[in-house]
Amino acid sequence: MSHDALPQPATARRSESLSGTARVPGDKSISHRSFMFGGLASGETRITGLLEGEDVMRTGAAMRAMGAHMEKRGDEWIIRGTGNGALLQPEAELDFGNAGTGSRLTMGLVGTYDMEVTFIGDASLSKRPMARVLEPLRQMGTQVLRATPGDRMPLTLRGPRQATPISYRVPMASAQVKSAVLLAGLNTPGVTTVIEPVMTRDHTEKMLKGFGANIQVETDEQGVRHIFIEGHGNLTGQVIAVPGDPSSAAFPLVAALIVPGSDVTIENVLMNPTRTGLITTLLEMGARIDIVNPRNAGGEDVADLRVRSSDLKGVSVPAERAPSMIDEYPVLAVAASFAEGETFMHGLEELRVKESDRLAAVANGLKANGVDCTETETALSVRGIPGGKGIGGGAVETHLDHRIAMSFLIMGLASEKPVTVDDKTMIATSFPEFMGLMADLGALISGGDENR
Ligand SMILES: O=C(O)C1=C[C@@H](OP(=O)(O)O)[C@@H](O)[C@H](O)C1
Ligand SMILES: C=C(OP(=O)(O)O)C(=O)O
């Protein structure tokens, strides 16, 4: 999709009970990293279950532009990497579309190469802060040749002849910043250290170890993680089966909870503890979620989730839980809209710098649909209406944000009146199968059948 594609509205209506079994696409975080590390490693990487959303495909295109070879054969992606330290300067700018993860991790990856790389993206990505990645890169010797004021994209990086290893304490809870510094460390002599006071998703650490990087993690008495990576090592190709994305599973899961009479099973969902905050919270709210057949697959915990409609109760979600459910607050706010009592969510400052200001977008969407809520600088409280009486009838502005679009379409499935979102096109960035998958479970969403 081009950046200026026309917006396509969609409307969700109150649906009869949802039922059936579904598989959501592969985890977005793991898919990005599979393309990146496979593209960098020597030898062949084979990936099944990859998320073929627009964000991930942009990362693939970037790795191709720097010399990796990638093709799909049957269900499998076959990557032939450039070999360590051998990325090529891309001939054109790298266009990351809507993807924060792809752009920030790639800035880290290329920032210590003696070459020039320009990063561009859509209107949403061009507003997002990149200083959080550029600051440690500058310390390592990367020059920012051009950037839009405020260290925003479009921007051009020029790596040093030889980068300097640093010890960097990540100032905000961000797996993207942590990962960017670790990836910069891959092409830096000596040991680069990342200090992570608040644990975030650990896919970079786990996967780099799997690819053979010399990386170690120590957790001190205060619970602070110290991650050490030695540069100029060898990554070798791997076989990867990407588990289902818990951040995508969240949508059919919340739908099944709030649409009366529903019984839905979502298979093969990643259950890495750095990603399960939403499930923890919904269980506290009284959700009937059975974690079926928990198992380990390729070094990650996965399980099937059986979800039945439930009488939810408001809870207080502690700020410490935010990193483990950071992308799930919009859909949690929807679940909270149908719960008895009030749900308090704290520690939400990072939501303001996602694809949209998600805190404002959620609060505005709730209010437009008759749900009473209070937004502060870093928190949201939602006063629910069990049964959904009076909810709906509003139009939601999605601000180029896939999760806002999907969350409010889920709201419309259980609300008294329909809910319309102004644009569903961004859903393709992370969950291209969303419309078809929801329709197969019995959801009534119009403006959506062309994805089937
Ligand atoms: O590292 C990753 O794959 C991601 C990290 C998170 O971003 P932050 O690092 O900005 O919290 C998350 O919101 C994003 O969807 C994916
Ligand atoms: C925040 C998200 O992604 P990114 O930062 O990669 O754009 C998301 O998918 O919710």
pLDDT one-digit tens code per residue, 374-399? 999 999 999 999 999 999 999 999 99
Structure tokens at 55: 């964000």
Does the Cβ of 275 fall within 6 Å of ligand 2? no
Please answer whether residues 8 and 425 qualify as being in contact, where contact means their C-beta atoms are separated by less than 8 angstroms: yes
Cα separation, 410 vs 401, whole angstroms? 15
Please answer whether residues 84 and 234 qualify as being in contact, where contact means their C-beta atoms are separated by less than 8 angstroms: yes
Residues 265-317 pLDDT 10s? 999 999 999 999 999 999 999 999 999 999 998 889 999 999 999 999 999 99
Q: Which of 1-5, 202-206, 265-269, 329-333 has the lowest mean pLDDT?
A: 1-5
From the annotation, which residues make up the binding site for phosphoenolpyruvate? 28, 100, 128, 176, 358, 403
Say yes or no: do domains 10-26+243-451 and 28-241 share a fold: yes
Ligand 1 atom with least separation from CA of 350: 11
The ligand whose atoms approach the alpha carbon of 204 most closely is 1
What per-residue confidence (pLDDT) applies to 4? Answer: 58
Cα separation, 349 vs 351, whole angstroms? 5
Task: Kindly report the average pLDDT of the chain as a whole number.
Answer: 97
For residues 126-131, average pLDDT: 98
The ligand whose atoms approach the alpha carbon of 108 most closely is 1
CATH code, residues 10-26+243-451: 3.65.10.10
Residues 319-360 pLDDT 10s? 999 999 999 999 999 999 999 999 999 999 999 999 999 999
Q: DSSP letter string over 178-195?
A: HHHHHHHHHTSSSEEEEE
H or E segment to which residue 294 belongs: strand 288-297
For residues 412-425, average pLDDT: 98
Ligand 2 atom with least separation from CA of 99: 7
- Distance from Cα 36 to the centre of ligand 2, integer Å: 17
Q: Categorise residue 127: left if φ over 0, alpha if ψ from -120 to 50, beta otherwise.
A: alpha
Question: Which of 327, 332, 404, 427 for a ligand 2 pocket mutation test, highest count of atoms within 8 Å of Cβ?
Answer: 327
Does the Cβ of 400 fall within 6 Å of ligand 2? no
Cα separation, 438 vs 417, whole angstroms? 19
Residues 214-247 pLDDT 10s? 999 999 999 999 999 999 999 999 999 999 999 9
Residues 65-122 pLDDT 10s? 999 999 999 999 999 999 988 999 999 999 999 999 999 999 999 999 999 999 999 9
Hey, where are the domains in the chain?
10-26+243-451, 28-241
The ligand whose atoms approach the alpha carbon of 102 most closely is 2
Does the Cβ of 187 fall within 6 Å of ligand 2? no
ipTM exceeding 0.90, yes/no: yes
What per-residue confidence (pLDDT) applies to 298? Answer: 85
- What is the residue whose two structure tokens read 């989730």? 305
- Distance from Cα 154 to the centre of ligand 1, integer Å: 20
From the annotation, which residues make up the binding site for 3-phosphoshikimate? 28-29, 33, 174, 176, 327, 354
Is pTM beyond 0.95? Reply is yes
Instruction: Please tell me whether the peptide bond between 294 and the residue prior to it is cis, using omega within 30 degrees of 0.
Output: no
Ligand 2 atom with least separation from CA of 429: 9
Does the Cβ of 354 fall within 6 Å of ligand 2? yes
Nearest CA to ligand 2 atom 4: 100
For residues 177-194, average pLDDT: 98
**Fold for the domain defined by 28-241:** UDP-n-acetylglucosamine1-carboxyvinyl-transferase; Chain (3.65.10)
Which strands sit side by side in the sheet containing 342-345, from one edge to the other? Answer: 316-317, 342-345, 380-383, 372-375
The ligand whose atoms approach the alpha carbon of 180 most closely is 1
- Distance from Cα 175 to the centre of ligand 1, integer Å: 6
- What is the residue whose two structure tokens read 């629910």? 384
Does the Cβ of 99 fall within 6 Å of ligand 2? yes
Does the Cβ of 100 fall within 6 Å of ligand 2? yes
pLDDT at 449 exceeding the cut of 90: no
- Distance from Cα 345 to the centre of ligand 1, integer Å: 19
Cα separation, 314 vs 26, whole angstroms? 31
- Distance from Cα 29 to the centre of ligand 2, integer Å: 9
Of 327, 401, 422, 440, the catalytic one is: 327
- Distance from Cα 276 to the centre of ligand 1, integer Å: 14
Q: What percent of the chain has pLDDT over 70?
A: 98
Does the Cβ of 430 fall within 6 Å of ligand 2? yes
What per-residue confidence (pLDDT) applies to 5? Answer: 75
Does the Cβ of 179 fall within 6 Å of ligand 1? yes
Nearest CA to ligand 2 atom 1: 354
327 counts as catalytic: yes
Please answer whether residues 14 and 37 qualify as being in contact, where contact means their C-beta atoms are separated by less than 8 angstroms: no
Does the Cβ of 101 fall within 6 Å of ligand 1? yes
Does the Cβ of 176 fall within 6 Å of ligand 1? yes
- Distance from Cα 162 to the centre of ligand 2, integer Å: 31
